[in-house]
Chain A
């Protein structure tokens, strides 16, 4: 959507012209298939990525003595269900509640970020108004502000509203993000032809109808990716939910932290819990992993 996808076809189109002037040899060298070493290197990276997850399965399916056992087997044991049940039945962890909370928070935040970011992105990319450039630059600049450092007043405000311990305290501050606005501005700017909007206006649609029937549908691919990333970021977020929710009404990461805070830590149970909390995202990765890759690469070239 940004420089990547725009520049690639351009450079492809440019090569044949140069090719005639004798750089065919250069192209052949550059396009060479990499050797065995490259694959070995990537395979090692893959092993490094998989191993901690495999280790989690191994310990999470063993029993409390597996970890102390020098002759431990490298094949998962049969205790995962038992361990998972002791996570689920642990009252201080509130597993189902935290799972439900995580689903609610992540879904609501994703939907809201997508809607408001698309709305703002549409305005920045396609509408004419005074101060547009400056305002957009401001949005981008806020991405570099470490807002996490405002936790103290934010917490004071939330407790004044009586919101501490409620999901609203986690949802409201995340309703729209600078990244989302920037992302949608980039996409809509190049994906939606001005003529379509003009046609809509001539047909008598008001501004919002034009957005709703022309802007929003055209932004669908980028909106889906934004939803995916926002979901993952919200699902894995710990600091603020941990502070404002506490262990009484937790999200999954907060509940996992409680699991470890017991006096006696049984790692087979802790890692079974880790596995339970990670499985939904692993499933998401299997289904949408290639879109995640594409999303990161499209959003990357910010300069």
Chain B
């Protein structure tokens, strides 16, 4: 007993010092430890692949044979000389416009109606969100059936109205319209709820004093709601831009072949990237397309940011 307490008494002060040090380290380094998983993962599967895409794009690089010699910007000049690239760019922009514009207009309209003093509020909000839980692949399969060229529901209905059938799968504009419809189906309600949240954060007394001044619903919407909604609008438009320009699922499944149509009627840039990389096994060129698409997203994102800023700061009540 005595012999064992003696060394223990000797050690006690050092143990306190050590645990104190440990406690200080705990306080100092724990926060970094807690946030590190995100930064590690982002570096490994987000940032590094994006940068390494640049490296791959400067090489001849086969999916199976792997890295080949450095060819500098040959992949880029090759891609930029392809007619298919420009068609894909046109299609991507066309589908993006056909989906983003009506989507945001409708989402604003739906949000404005949901923002009134409705009966059965939760029910209506839920009903607007229903399409969101249908996976894009399923949406694509359902709509490519409804937009069938020969026996599709849409053409049958048009036939009843005496309108000639539309070639949804061979006409470029028609096919892009059909694909944009799929995107709108799934995302309009979701965006409406985001905009609704933004609308509810607008102080009610702004509306009340405007109402006293004789402003009607429509006037209140344009003079108060839209300018006050600016941050939310910017968020919705930027997310729609980043997501919309990378569209893949819907065009991939619009027909059985998945290559974007016999004449690339609805081939988008991401689909082109996939066809180059996993169809032709040419990773160098696929990586070049990825980098180009990245630049396009940045440019269009900035343009949209500028437009949104201007629209919502024109006129209106500023607090």
Given contacts A257-B252, A267-B145, is CB(A289)–CB(B119) below 8 Å?
no
- Closest residue of chain A to B245 (Cβ to Cβ) is A146
Expressed in whole angstroms, the minimum distance between the Cβ of B169 and any Cβ of chain A is 13
Q: Are A257 and B253 in contact (CB under 8 A)?
A: yes
A127 to B56, CA, bound (A): 41
Expressed in whole angstroms, the minimum distance between the Cβ of A246 and any Cβ of chain B is 10
A15 to B128, CA, bound (A): 30
Is A292's beta carbon under 8 Å from chain B?
Answer: yes
Q: Are B34 and A302 in contact (CB under 8 A)?
A: no
Is A162's beta carbon under 8 Å from chain B?
Answer: no
Q: Are B135 and A243 in contact (CB under 8 A)?
A: no
Given contacts A31-B117, A120-B34, is CB(A176)–CB(B200) below 8 Å?
no
Neighbour of A52 across the interface among B37, B142, B245, CB < 8 A: B142
Is A196's beta carbon under 8 Å from chain B?
Answer: no
0/1 interface trace, chain A 252-272, chain B, CB 8 Å (1 if under): 110011001111010100110
Given contacts A173-B41, A274-B138, A281-B135, is CB(A239)–CB(B249) below 8 Å?
yes
Q: Are B37 and A260 in contact (CB under 8 A)?
A: no
Given contacts A49-B189, A235-B135, A290-B122, is CB(A23)–CB(B205) below 8 Å?
yes
Interface size on A, residues (CB 8 A): 112
A265 to B257, CA, bound (A): 12
Q: Are B38 and A45 in contact (CB under 8 A)?
A: no
Q: Which of B3-11, B43-51, B77-85 lies on the face that meets chain A? A: B43-51
Expressed in whole angstroms, the minimum distance between the Cβ of A50 and any Cβ of chain B is 7
Q: Are B50 and A297 in contact (CB under 8 A)?
A: no
Q: Are A232 and B110 in contact (CB under 8 A)?
A: no
**Which residues of B, 130-169, contact A by the 8 Å Cβ criterion?**
130-139, 141-143, 145-146, 148, 151, 153, 156
Give the interface size bracket for B toward A.
35 or more
Given contacts A25-B212, A243-B274, A284-B133, is CB(A149)–CB(B246) below 8 Å?
yes
Q: List A residues at the B interface (Cβ < 8 Å).
A: 3-4, 7-8, 11-12, 14-15, 18, 23, 25-27, 29-34, 38-39, 41-42, 45-46, 48-50, 52-53, 55-56, 59, 67-68, 70, 116-117, 119-120, 122-124, 127-129, 132, 135, 139, 142, 144-157, 172-173, 175-178, 181, 206-208, 211, 232, 235-236, 238-239, 242-243, 252-253, 256-257, 260-263, 265, 267, 270-271, 274, 277-278, 281-282, 284-285, 289-290, 292-293, 296-298, 300-303
Q: Would you mind naming 25 contact pairs between A and B with Cβ atoms under 8 Å apart?
A: A12-B204, A23-B208, A23-B212, A29-B211, A39-B118, A42-B124, A46-B127, A52-B143, A56-B142, A124-B35, A139-B38, A145-B47, A153-B53, A154-B45, A207-B30, A211-B34, A238-B248, A239-B270, A242-B252, A256-B135, A270-B145, A274-B142, A281-B133, A302-B231, A303-B231
